[in-house]
A and B are shown apart, each in its own frame.
Chain A
Amino acid sequence: MDEGPFIEAFSAWVRDHVATHVPFVAEVDGDAVGMAWLMVADRVPNSDPQRRRFGDIQSVYVVPELRDRRIGAALLAAVLAVARGLELEHVTVHSSDRGAALSAFGVPARATLAPLVARVARRMIALRAPVVCGG
Protein backbone atom coordinates (compact mmCIF):
# COMPACT_ATOMS: atom_id res chain seq x y z
CA MET A 1 0.00 0.00 0.00
CA ASP A 2 1.29 3.44 -0.89
CA GLU A 3 1.43 5.82 2.04
CA GLY A 4 0.55 8.95 0.05
CA PRO A 5 -2.90 7.89 -1.17
CA PHE A 6 -3.70 6.41 2.24
CA ILE A 7 -2.82 9.65 4.04
CA GLU A 8 -4.97 11.59 1.62
CA ALA A 9 -7.93 9.21 1.94
CA PHE A 10 -7.73 8.88 5.72
CA SER A 11 -7.34 12.64 6.19
CA ALA A 12 -10.52 13.12 4.20
CA TRP A 13 -12.23 10.55 6.42
CA VAL A 14 -11.12 12.42 9.54
CA ARG A 15 -12.47 15.71 8.24
CA ASP A 16 -15.70 13.99 7.23
CA HIS A 17 -16.24 12.41 10.67
CA VAL A 18 -14.81 14.94 13.12
CA ALA A 19 -18.30 15.77 14.42
CA THR A 20 -18.87 12.20 15.60
CA HIS A 21 -15.34 10.79 16.06
CA VAL A 22 -13.31 12.96 18.45
CA PRO A 23 -9.58 12.29 18.05
CA PHE A 24 -6.87 12.56 20.70
CA VAL A 25 -3.12 12.66 20.14
CA ALA A 26 -0.28 11.79 22.52
CA GLU A 27 2.95 13.67 21.92
CA VAL A 28 6.48 13.34 23.26
CA ASP A 29 8.91 16.11 22.46
CA GLY A 30 6.52 17.38 19.82
CA ASP A 31 6.24 14.05 18.02
CA ALA A 32 2.93 12.24 17.73
CA VAL A 33 3.38 8.85 19.40
CA GLY A 34 -0.18 7.69 19.99
CA MET A 35 -3.84 8.32 19.36
CA ALA A 36 -7.29 7.41 20.59
CA TRP A 37 -10.79 8.15 19.36
CA LEU A 38 -14.07 8.84 21.12
CA MET A 39 -17.07 8.15 18.95
CA VAL A 40 -20.11 10.05 20.20
CA ALA A 41 -23.60 8.97 19.20
CA ASP A 42 -27.19 9.65 20.19
CA ARG A 43 -29.26 7.03 21.93
CA VAL A 44 -32.89 6.56 21.09
CA PRO A 45 -34.83 9.32 22.88
CA ASN A 46 -37.09 8.60 25.83
CA SER A 47 -38.97 10.73 28.33
CA ASP A 48 -35.73 12.00 29.83
CA PRO A 49 -35.48 15.64 28.72
CA GLN A 50 -31.70 15.35 28.74
CA ARG A 51 -30.10 14.42 25.44
CA ARG A 52 -29.06 10.78 25.60
CA ARG A 53 -25.64 10.19 24.16
CA PHE A 54 -22.99 7.55 24.67
CA GLY A 55 -19.40 7.10 23.64
CA ASP A 56 -17.30 4.32 22.21
CA ILE A 57 -13.53 4.32 22.53
CA GLN A 58 -11.87 3.25 19.31
CA SER A 59 -8.44 2.76 17.80
CA VAL A 60 -6.19 3.32 20.80
CA TYR A 61 -2.67 3.09 19.42
CA VAL A 62 0.85 3.76 20.71
CA VAL A 63 3.94 3.39 18.55
CA PRO A 64 5.74 0.10 19.29
CA GLU A 65 8.93 1.62 20.66
CA LEU A 66 7.04 3.51 23.40
CA ARG A 67 4.64 0.83 24.58
CA ASP A 68 4.42 -0.40 28.17
CA ARG A 69 4.96 3.11 29.47
CA ARG A 70 1.29 3.83 30.18
CA ILE A 71 0.89 6.27 27.33
CA GLY A 72 -2.29 4.41 26.33
CA ALA A 73 -3.60 4.88 29.86
CA ALA A 74 -2.89 8.61 29.63
CA LEU A 75 -4.81 8.72 26.36
CA LEU A 76 -7.78 6.94 27.89
CA ALA A 77 -7.74 9.19 30.95
CA ALA A 78 -8.07 12.20 28.67
CA VAL A 79 -10.79 10.52 26.61
CA LEU A 80 -12.83 9.73 29.72
CA ALA A 81 -12.37 13.26 31.06
CA VAL A 82 -13.81 14.67 27.85
CA ALA A 83 -16.57 12.04 27.85
CA ARG A 84 -17.62 13.18 31.30
CA GLY A 85 -17.54 16.78 30.15
CA LEU A 86 -19.87 15.88 27.29
CA GLU A 87 -22.19 14.22 29.83
CA LEU A 88 -22.27 10.94 27.98
CA GLU A 89 -24.33 8.25 29.69
CA HIS A 90 -21.65 5.63 29.31
CA VAL A 91 -18.60 4.69 27.32
CA THR A 92 -17.88 1.33 25.78
CA VAL A 93 -14.63 -0.16 24.56
CA HIS A 94 -13.89 -3.20 22.44
CA SER A 95 -10.31 -4.10 23.15
CA SER A 96 -7.83 -6.01 21.05
CA ASP A 97 -6.18 -9.07 22.53
CA ARG A 98 -3.39 -6.86 23.74
CA GLY A 99 -5.93 -5.55 26.19
CA ALA A 100 -4.39 -2.15 26.74
CA ALA A 101 -7.76 -0.45 26.87
CA LEU A 102 -9.20 -3.01 29.24
CA SER A 103 -6.18 -2.73 31.45
CA ALA A 104 -6.76 0.98 31.84
CA PHE A 105 -10.18 0.18 33.26
CA GLY A 106 -8.79 -2.19 35.82
CA VAL A 107 -9.04 -5.43 33.88
CA PRO A 108 -5.66 -7.22 33.75
CA ALA A 109 -4.29 -7.07 30.22
CA ARG A 110 -2.64 -10.44 30.53
CA ALA A 111 -5.20 -12.27 32.58
CA THR A 112 -5.54 -15.98 31.95
CA LEU A 113 -8.29 -15.69 29.38
CA ALA A 114 -7.32 -12.25 28.15
CA PRO A 115 -6.58 -13.12 24.51
CA LEU A 116 -9.99 -14.71 24.06
CA VAL A 117 -12.08 -12.63 26.43
CA ALA A 118 -10.64 -9.28 25.45
CA ARG A 119 -11.40 -9.95 21.81
CA VAL A 120 -15.10 -10.37 22.44
CA ALA A 121 -15.71 -8.42 25.64
CA ARG A 122 -17.33 -5.03 25.69
CA ARG A 123 -16.79 -3.17 28.91
CA MET A 124 -19.18 -0.38 29.72
CA ILE A 125 -18.22 2.54 31.89
CA ALA A 126 -21.10 4.40 33.50
CA LEU A 127 -20.43 8.11 33.50
CA ARG A 128 -23.60 9.46 35.07
CA ALA A 129 -26.50 8.21 37.11
CA PRO A 130 -28.97 6.08 35.16
CA VAL A 131 -32.27 7.70 34.29
CA VAL A 132 -35.52 6.43 35.81
CA CYS A 133 -37.01 5.39 32.50
CA GLY A 134 -34.93 2.68 30.90
CA GLY A 135 -34.72 1.48 27.37
Chain B
Amino acid sequence: MAARKDGLAGTYVALAERHNRAGLNEPVAPTVGRDIHKRVTAGGWMRVTVRRASADDAAVLAGLRFRWLTESGDAVNWTRVLSSRLSPPG
Protein backbone atom coordinates (compact mmCIF):
# COMPACT_ATOMS: atom_id res chain seq x y z
CA MET B 1 0.00 0.00 0.00
CA ALA B 2 1.32 3.41 -0.88
CA ALA B 3 0.24 5.79 1.81
CA ARG B 4 -0.59 9.30 0.67
CA LYS B 5 1.13 12.15 2.40
CA ASP B 6 -1.49 14.50 3.75
CA GLY B 7 -1.35 18.25 3.98
CA LEU B 8 -0.09 17.96 7.53
CA ALA B 9 3.65 17.44 7.65
CA GLY B 10 4.59 13.91 8.54
CA THR B 11 1.05 12.58 8.38
CA TYR B 12 0.17 9.75 6.07
CA VAL B 13 -3.35 8.74 5.23
CA ALA B 14 -4.59 5.45 3.95
CA LEU B 15 -7.88 3.64 3.81
CA ALA B 16 -8.56 0.29 5.35
CA GLU B 17 -11.56 -1.94 5.38
CA ARG B 18 -13.87 -1.30 8.28
CA HIS B 19 -15.58 -4.62 7.89
CA ASN B 20 -13.73 -7.87 7.87
CA ARG B 21 -13.79 -9.76 4.61
CA ALA B 22 -12.90 -13.09 6.10
CA GLY B 23 -11.39 -15.49 3.63
CA LEU B 24 -11.39 -13.17 0.67
CA ASN B 25 -8.03 -11.59 1.39
CA GLU B 26 -8.69 -8.84 -1.11
CA PRO B 27 -6.05 -6.19 -1.56
CA VAL B 28 -7.24 -2.75 -0.59
CA ALA B 29 -6.14 0.02 -2.87
CA PRO B 30 -5.62 3.39 -1.26
CA THR B 31 -7.71 6.21 -2.64
CA VAL B 32 -7.28 9.90 -2.33
CA GLY B 33 -9.20 13.13 -2.12
CA ARG B 34 -12.94 13.10 -2.32
CA ASP B 35 -13.12 9.34 -2.61
CA ILE B 36 -12.01 9.04 1.00
CA HIS B 37 -14.92 11.07 2.31
CA LYS B 38 -17.37 9.30 0.03
CA ARG B 39 -16.28 5.84 1.08
CA VAL B 40 -16.04 6.68 4.77
CA THR B 41 -19.57 8.04 4.86
CA ALA B 42 -20.77 4.97 2.98
CA GLY B 43 -19.69 2.97 6.02
CA GLY B 44 -17.59 0.42 4.22
CA TRP B 45 -14.25 2.07 4.77
CA MET B 46 -12.46 3.76 7.56
CA ARG B 47 -9.85 6.45 7.51
CA VAL B 48 -6.55 5.45 9.03
CA THR B 49 -4.09 8.17 9.88
CA VAL B 50 -0.48 7.21 10.36
CA ARG B 51 1.76 9.85 11.85
CA ARG B 52 5.26 10.09 13.13
CA ALA B 53 5.00 10.13 16.89
CA SER B 54 7.20 11.82 19.46
CA ALA B 55 8.10 11.67 23.12
CA ASP B 56 4.76 13.34 23.83
CA ASP B 57 3.10 10.12 22.68
CA ALA B 58 5.08 7.97 25.09
CA ALA B 59 2.06 6.95 27.14
CA VAL B 60 0.07 6.03 24.02
CA LEU B 61 2.92 3.89 22.75
CA ALA B 62 3.31 2.32 26.17
CA GLY B 63 -0.38 1.44 26.18
CA LEU B 64 -0.09 -0.32 22.84
CA ARG B 65 3.03 -2.14 23.97
CA PHE B 66 1.35 -3.23 27.17
CA ARG B 67 -1.60 -4.55 25.21
CA TRP B 68 0.72 -6.46 22.91
CA LEU B 69 2.67 -8.04 25.74
CA THR B 70 -0.50 -8.97 27.56
CA GLU B 71 -1.92 -10.49 24.40
CA SER B 72 1.21 -12.52 23.70
CA GLY B 73 1.65 -13.66 27.28
CA ASP B 74 5.12 -12.13 27.52
CA ALA B 75 4.21 -9.62 30.16
CA VAL B 76 5.89 -11.22 33.14
CA ASN B 77 8.68 -9.12 34.64
CA TRP B 78 8.76 -6.67 31.75
CA THR B 79 8.50 -3.66 33.99
CA ARG B 80 11.61 -4.77 35.87
CA VAL B 81 13.45 -5.49 32.62
CA LEU B 82 12.51 -2.13 31.16
CA SER B 83 13.60 -0.28 34.26
CA SER B 84 16.98 -1.96 34.18
CA ARG B 85 17.53 -0.77 30.59
CA LEU B 86 16.98 2.89 31.34
CA SER B 87 19.87 5.21 31.83
CA PRO B 88 20.59 6.04 35.46
CA PRO B 89 19.33 9.50 36.48
CA GLY B 90 21.73 12.38 36.29
Contacts and interface: CB of A to CB of B under 8 A. Distances in A.
Mutual binders A and B: yes
Interface of A: 1-3, 5-16, 18, 22-29, 32-35, 59, 61, 63-64, 66, 68-71, 73-75, 77-78, 81-82, 104
Given A6-B79, A18-B55, A74-B50, A11 B62 contact: yes
A79 to B, nearest CB: 9
A77 B14 contact: yes
B51 to A, nearest CB: 6
- Nearest 10 A-B pairs (CB), nearest first? A10-B62, A11-B58, A74-B14, A77-B3, A69-B16, A14-B58, A23-B53, A78-B12, A9-B82, A73-B1
A74 B46 contact: no
B51 A25 contact: yes
Query: Which one of B58, B63, B78 has the greatest number of beta carbons of chain A within 10 Å?
Result: B58
Given A25-B51, A74-B14, A32 B82 contact: no
A28 B28 CA distance: 17
B85 A13 contact: yes
A78 B3 CA distance: 6
Given A7-B63, A10-B66, A59-B65, A18 B2 contact: no
Contacts of A33: 48
A32 B68 contact: no
A7 B48 contact: no
A82 B9 CA distance: 11
A64 to B, nearest CB: 7
B60 A25 contact: yes
A14 B48 contact: no
Contacts of A16: 86-87
A69 B79 contact: no
